[in-house]
Structure 1
C-alpha cells in the first residue's frame, strides 16, 4: 500500500478514467443550441470541454500522485503543473497536447471574463483570431481543440498509469 491507497486501486481508477468522454457535456451544449445558435453553443461547448478536462485531469493526477488540497489547487496553473509532474519523473511539456490544455484554459477564461475577445496570448492561435477582436468560428476551434485535448488527456493517463504500475 502506498500513501493510503493500494497501487492496484489507483491503477484500476486511472484505467477507468481512460473511458471518460471529455466531450459529453460539450456535445449536449451544441445540441441544445441548434442550428440557429451554432456559434453561441460552440462557445459554451468550449467552456464545458475545458471544465471536463480540468475536472478529470485533477482526479487522475490527484489519485496518481496523492496530492494534498493545496497542491490540487496549484496544479491548475501551467508552471505548477510542470513542477509537480517533474517531481514525479514526468516531463509534462513533452506530453503531446500540453500546450493545447493551456490554450483551452485561456479560451475558456477569455469567454468567461473578457467577452470572448482575443487576448494577446491567443493572438494567431487560429488564423481567424486577431488580438483585440471578438473570437469567431467557435465551431472550428471546438472541433480542433476537442480532438487535441482528448489525445492529450489519454496520453497524460498513460503516463500516470506507467508511474503507478
Structure 2
C-alpha cells in the first residue's frame, strides 16, 4: 500500500466509533457520564489517528510525532512542510476538545479559564454541564477537521 493510499485509508477512519460504543452501552441514569467518556474517547481517537497520519506523511519517528499532540508543536511541524495548521478549518475545535479532555481528567470537569464561555452554558470555575450537547457539537466538527487535515497531508504526496 502506497503512502498516499495509507493516508486515504486513515481519512476514512470514523473517530466516533469507540465514543459511540460507550454511549450505546449506557442507560439514562449514566447518560451525562457516558457523554463525558465519549468526549475523552473522541479526543483520544483524534489524537491517535492524527499522530499516525503525521508520522506517515512527514516521515517522523514516534518521539517526534508525539509532539504533534501539543498545539504549538503541531503548528511548527506542519509549517515545516508548508502547511498552515492554524488556518485549517476546525483547528480551534481540536484545541477545545483537548482542553475539555484535560479538564475532565485533571480538573474534575470544572470549566477552566481556557474554556470559559466556549459554550453559553459554561462558566469558569463551575462544573461542566450538558456533555451531550457538547459532544454533539464537537463530534461533527472534529471529524470534518480531521478530514481536512488528511486532505492537506494527501495533497503533499500527490
Could you say which TM-score interval applies, normalised by the shorter chain? over 0.9
> For residue 81 of structure 2, what is the aligned residue in structure 1?
88
Residue 6 of structure 2: which of 6, 13, 17 is its match?
13
Structure 1 residues 37-84: Cα deviation after superposition (integer angstroms, max 9, x where no partner): 111100000000000000000110110000123321211110010001
User: Within 2, Cα distance between the matches of 1:44 and 1:68?
Assistant: 30
Deviation at 1:158, TM superposition (A): 0.2
Are 1:160 and 2:143 matched, yes or no? no
User: What does the per-residue CA deviation read over 1:91-126, in whole Å, with 9 as the maximum and x for residues that have no partner?
Assistant: 001100001111101100100010000000000000
Task: Give the one of 112, 115, 121 matched to 1:122.
Answer: 115
| RMSD, aligned α-carbons | 0.9
What's the TM-score, normalizing by structure 2?
0.98
Please state if 1:37 is matched with 2:30: yes
Deviations 1:5-62 (A, max 9, x none): xxx7110100111211100000011111222211110000000000000000011011
Q: How many residues align?
A: 158
1:53 and 2:28 aligned: no
5+ residue gaps, structure 1, are 1-7
TM-score, structure 1 normalization: 0.93
